[in-house]
């Protein structure tokens, strides 16, 4: 990180006038002030109704708060004597070597599992389309079981690189915002990119 | 003719504590835009920001009696929402990116100026995203929310010299990122 | 199992692991190209697209990618003209990739999967110098994962040369396949924790080869995994 001239900081803190700075430093001040101005856009969201509805309800009782705490996941730290850890590890190994009936699909050597997750509150349907299903809707429908707007699908796919998009309500095509990898689709848009690793590795 | 001005924060707080629940709506309308703007920039998602701000405001209502200086209500509200955003960031390793935040497809109906502005906003947002949460918070509170270092100290619980250092580092990092994207 | 058999099994498994990251594009028989395009792309453009793809196949280029691109265009309700242009563009990209591999030292004919690996890398924004550096340094199927790992880093604004150096260092320490993606993931994680790019690279380099693996999905979602349903033909969604 390159340090900025202290006079730039002074100007941005209102301690000196930017006009007193040489042009190069004044440009830095303008760049940063311009960036801040662009970030000053207020999002088109509103929470007033939601907040007023919440405060109209009576505050949760102590019992209800306790119940909520009990069912919410928390991280717990366990302190165990080394002798006990050895014993626990031995029990774990015993379970690992005794065959347990496996559930879930049988995967081929060149197959893996892809997990798709996306947030589309208010959507009626979401599907995954891509190079693995000839871009046809209907073969990989996603599910929103909790009706919280979070859609999921867990799919067995050939290992390798795949391009895909989501289709929302049968008409809106969207690249996966959580994909992290994108390529141009050569039709003026972007596809998300997925790398499926072989499950047997 | 007398002109009725908006009630001050201490007046509204007194009304709410006196039982006028609806008066809390005045405070929501007054501070919601800034709080949502801050939370959206910190969390990267409109949905997550709305959750953080709504939860923060409900909490503020329930603990309004503990606000010792109603004249400084703004910093008190920001403190609550800043902490909610920190909790959210701690729970989620990566920032949420919701559909609404994804770069919009260019609409042929947009004017050239609108498209250019949208591109500039996206560029600055990408540069901001590269900052650590502490630097991002410092830059947004100072330059977007327009707070003084004293106000920032109340909101974040940090000392002023440490905040100044963070703002300076944030400016340097942001300028570097903006230069890279140019 | 004797030692030789174990070694053979290990080599087969290794080959399976490293090639597992690469699709295996193939040259398709001509009649199946038309059959796959029927009802999915505008009928008037099928003869032109078919002809382009068959020509590409004769040059030893992977045609499956080209068929996929045409089908994608049809599904996105793009005009036949634009689909033809996209197929031509992709053929050009495949030819350039093939030429890059040959100039980097590969003996012709280069395999379709190698060509596809280079095309992906270029589409993801890697410059030809970086791609050449990687393919020259890695003479086998490990290239695919290495190229993706470098592209991951470059997408997060790591300098291309430093990104390539880190991944090549990982390869020299015996890492391959998905483990190279763990390396780029680890560097990005350090960046998101607030470290600078150079700090993140140094930290991960120091950890090699014991970079933590990316988190795997929970068992419950693995158990729920399903294969894609057979989709109805000719009913693409409207983009």
ipTM attached to this prediction: 0.81
Residue A33 lies in a domain: yes
pLDDT at B62 over 60: yes
Distance CA A24, CA C42 (A): 56
Confidence of residue B97 (pLDDT cuts 50, 70, 90): very low
Which residues of chain B does A59 touch, with a Cβ-Cβ cutoff of 8 Å? Answer: 62
State whether residue B130 sits within 8 Å of chain C by CB.
Answer: yes
For the cut 90, the answer to whether the pLDDT of residue B139 exceeds it is yes
Tens of pLDDT, residues A13-62: 999 999 999 999 999 999 999 999 988 887 777 888 888 888 887 666 66
Burial class (CB in 10 A: 0-12, 13-18, 19+), A119: buried
pLDDT for res C16: 45
Tally of domains within chain A: 2
Residues 39-68 of B with CB under 8 A from A: 40-41, 46-47, 49-50, 53-54, 57-58, 61-62
pLDDT at A90: 58
Contacting subunits of A (3+ beta carbon pairs below 8 A): B, C
Contacts of A180 (CB under 8 A, 6+ apart): C152, C155
**What is the share, in percent, of chain B residues with pLDDT greater than 90?**
34
- Both structure tokens of B20: 């006028």
∠ CA B130-A116-C127, nearest 5°, is 50
More confident position, C56 or C29: C56
Q: Give the pLDDT confidence score for residue C80 in this predicted structure.
A: 94
CA gap B9, B17 in Å, rounded: 12
Q: Looking at residue C114, what is its pLDDT?
A: 87
Q: What is the 3-state secondary structure (H, E, C) of B126-179?
A: HHHHCCCHHHHHHHHHHHHCCCCHHHHHHHHCCCHHHHHHHHHHHHHHHHHHHH
Which is more confidently placed, C31 or B143? B143
Residue C68 has pLDDT above 80, yes or no: yes
Mean pLDDT highest for which of B113-127, C7-21, C89-103? C89-103
Domains of chain B: 1-99 (1.10.1740.10), 103-182 (1.10.10.10)
Q: How many residues does chain A have?
A: 201
Inter-chain CB proximity B180 and C194 less than 8 Å: no
- Does the distance separating the beta carbons of A152 and C221 come in below 8 Å? yes
| pLDDT for res C239 | 43
B93, pLDDT greater than 50 = no
**C-beta of residue B131 within 8 angstroms of C-beta of residue B174:** yes
Which one is predicted more confidently, C103 or C205? C205
Model-level pTM greater than 0.80?
no
Q: How confident is the model at residue B103 (pLDDT cuts 50, 70, 90)?
A: very low
| Higher-pLDDT residue of A71, C191 | C191
Which among B24, B37, B96 has the least Cβ separation from residue A43? B37
* Chain A touched by C164 (CB under 8 Å): no
- Asked if residue A151 belongs to a domain, the reply is yes
Report residue A179's pLDDT band, with 50, 70 and 90 as the boundaries: confident
C157, C192, C194 ranked by CB distance to B94: nearest: C192
pLDDT in tens, A138-174: 889 999 888 888 899 999 999 889 999 999 988 889 9
Does A146 fall in a domain?
yes
Give the tens place of pLDDT for each residue, B5-41. 688 999 999 999 988 888 999 999 999 999 999 999 9
Question: Is residue A200 scored above 80 in pLDDT?
Answer: no
**A79-132 pLDDT tens trace:** 666 666 666 655 655 555 554 545 667 777 788 889 999 888 888 899 999 999
Residue A116 maps to a domain: yes
pLDDT attached to residue A121:
84
Band of residue B133 on the pLDDT scale cut at 50, 70, 90: confident
DSSP annotation of C124 reads T
pLDDT of residue C192: 81
Q: How far is C93 from chain A (nearest CA, A)?
A: 12
Structure confidence at residue C86 (pLDDT): 96
Nearest CB to A55 within list B49, B58, B101: B58
Give B50's contacts in chain A (Cβ within 8 Å).
45, 47, 50
Residues 6+ apart with CB under 8 A from A36: B139, B143, B144
Mean pLDDT of chain C: 83
CA B141, CA B131: separation in Å to the nearest integer? Answer: 14
Mean pLDDT, residues A2-23 taken together: 91
Q: Which domain holds residue A18?
A: 6-39
- In this complex, is the C-beta atom of B134 within 8 Å of any C-beta atom belonging to chain C? yes
Residue C20's pLDDT is 46
CATH code, domain carrying A190: 2.60.40.10
């Amino acid at each position: 990180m390159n340090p900025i001239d202290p006079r730039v900081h002074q100007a941005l803190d209102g301690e000196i006038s930017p006009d007193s700075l040489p042009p190069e430093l004044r440009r830095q001040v303008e760049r940063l002030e311009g960036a801040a101005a662009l970030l000053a856009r207020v999002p088109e969201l509103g929470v007033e109704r939601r907040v007023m509805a919440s405060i109209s309800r009576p505050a949760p009782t102590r019992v209800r708060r306790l119940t909520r705490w009990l069912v919410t996941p928390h991280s717990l730290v366990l302190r165990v004597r080394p002798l006990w850890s050895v014993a626990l590890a031995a029990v774990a190994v015993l379970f690992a070597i005794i065959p347990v009936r496996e559930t879930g699909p049988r995967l081929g050597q060149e197959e893996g599992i892809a997990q798709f997750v996306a947030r589309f509150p208010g959507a009626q349907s979401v599907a995954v389309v891509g190079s693995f299903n000839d871009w046809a809707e209907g073969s990989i429908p996603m599910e929103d079981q909790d009706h919280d707007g979070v859609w999921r699908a867990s799919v067995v796919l050939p290992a390798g690189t795949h391009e895909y998009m989501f289709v929302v309500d049968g008409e809106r095509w969207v690249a996966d915002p959580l994909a992290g990898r994108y390529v141009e689709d050569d039709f003026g848009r972007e596809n998300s990119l997925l790398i499926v690793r072989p499950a047997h590795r | 003719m007398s002109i009725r001005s908006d009630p001050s924060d201490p007046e509204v707080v007194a009304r709410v504590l006196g039982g006028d629940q609806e008066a809390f709506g005045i405070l929501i309308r007054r501070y919601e835009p800034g709080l949502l703007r801050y939370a959206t920039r910190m969390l990267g998602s409109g949905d997550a920001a709305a959750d953080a701000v709504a939860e923060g405001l409900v909490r503020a209502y329930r603990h309004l009696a503990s606000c010792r200086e109603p004249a400084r209500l703004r910093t008190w509200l920001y403190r609550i929402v800043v902490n909610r955003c920190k909790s959210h960031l701690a729970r989620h390793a990566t920032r949420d990116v919701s559909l609404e935040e994804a770069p919009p497809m260019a609409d042929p109906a947009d004017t050239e100026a609108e498209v250019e502005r949208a591109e500039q906003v996206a560029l600055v947002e990408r540069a901001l995203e590269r900052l650590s949460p502490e630097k991002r918070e410092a830059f947004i509170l100072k330059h977007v929310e327009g707070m003084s270092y004293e106000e920032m100290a109340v909101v974040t619980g940090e000392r002023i010299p440490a905040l100044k250092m963070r703002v300076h580092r944030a400016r340097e990092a942001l300028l570097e990122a903006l230069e890279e994207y140019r | 199992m004797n030692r030789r058999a174990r070694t053979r099994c290990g080599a087969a498994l290794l080959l399976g692991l490293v090639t597992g990251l690469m699709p295996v594009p193939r040259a398709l028989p001509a009649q199946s190209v038309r059959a796959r395009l029927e009802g999915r792309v505008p009928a008037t453009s099928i003869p032109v697209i078919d002809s382009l793809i068959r020509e590409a196949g004769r040059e030893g280029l992977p045609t499956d990618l080209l068929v996929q691109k045409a089908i994608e265009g049809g599904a996105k309700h793009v005009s036949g003209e634009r689909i033809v242009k996209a197929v031509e563009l992709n053929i050009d990209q495949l030819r350039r990739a093939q030429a890059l591999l040959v100039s980097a030292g590969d003996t012709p004919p280069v395999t379709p999967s190698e060509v596809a690996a280079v095309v992906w890398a270029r589409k993801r924004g890697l410059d030809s110098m970086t791609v050449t550096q990687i393919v020259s340094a890695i003479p086998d199927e490990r290239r695919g994962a290495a190229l993706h790992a470098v592209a991951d880093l470059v997408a997060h604004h790591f300098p291309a040369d430093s990104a390539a150096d880190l991944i090549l260092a990982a390869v020299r320490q015996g890492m391959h396949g998905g483990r190279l993606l763990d390396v780029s993931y680890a560097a990005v994680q350090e960046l998101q924790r607030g470290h600078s790019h150079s700090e993140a690279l140094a930290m991960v380099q120091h950890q090699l080869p014991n970079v933590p693996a990316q988190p795997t999905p929970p068992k419950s979602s693995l158990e729920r995994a399903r294969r894609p349903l057979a989709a109805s033909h000719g009913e693409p969604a409207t983009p």
